[in-house]
Amino acid sequence: MKNIEKRKVGFLEELVEQAKAKTGASLQEVKMLRKKANANVCTLGKTGVSANVNEFVVETLNGIIHELRLQSGDKVAVLIMGMGKKPTYGDIVIHREVSKILKSKNIQIVFIDTAVKIMSNRPSGMAISLMKLDSELEQLIKVPYGTSTFRT
């Protein structure tokens, strides 16, 4: 993948971690869930995403699908992040392309958010995170959230 790099973001993990804590789980149970969530998330991004958004999405998703070993029938949570000064319309185009590609591979999107803007010292760009969901993660990602990063 040209200039696409792996990033550690943690937002999807934060959502399920907070949902688990809301259930009254112990700190140890929340920590174990966070470890499982971390193992099921991949974030890839690129600075300077320009006119060829489709190429960025295809390359990024192919890398994430390979990394997470996603297969037909799997369920995922998706987070599309604008970095720096990227306009919001880029998020909308990427949202549409991500949805189209995952649907074509019979990978079900359970949760998708494009609202996050990360102010970065890097030039503008985009990043996509996917979390492969098992039944527990799927249940938790559906809980209404209100973290330091997100608000519903």
pLDDT digits (tens, 9 = 90+) for 83-99: 655 456 667 788 889 99
pLDDT above 90 for 110: yes
pTM over 0.75: yes
Q: How confident is the model at residue 151 (pLDDT cuts 50, 70, 90)?
A: very low
Q: Is 85 exposed, middle or buried (0-12, 13-18, 19+ CB in 10 A)?
A: exposed
Is 84 in a helix, a strand, or coil? coil
More confident residue, 29 or 48: 29
What is the pLDDT at residue 41? 95
Average pLDDT for the chain:
83
DSSP annotation of 123: P
Mean pLDDT, rounded, for 15-33: 94
pLDDT above 50 for 23: yes
pLDDT above 70 for 136: yes
pLDDT above 90 for 126: no
pLDDT per residue as tens digits for the range 38-57: 999 999 887 766 667 788 88
Kindly state the tokens that stand for 99: 């949805």
> Which residues, including other chains, have CB under 8 Å from residue 42's CB and lie 6 or more apart?
6, 63, 64, 67, 68, 129, 130
Q: Is 2 exposed, middle or buried (0-12, 13-18, 19+ CB in 10 A)?
A: exposed
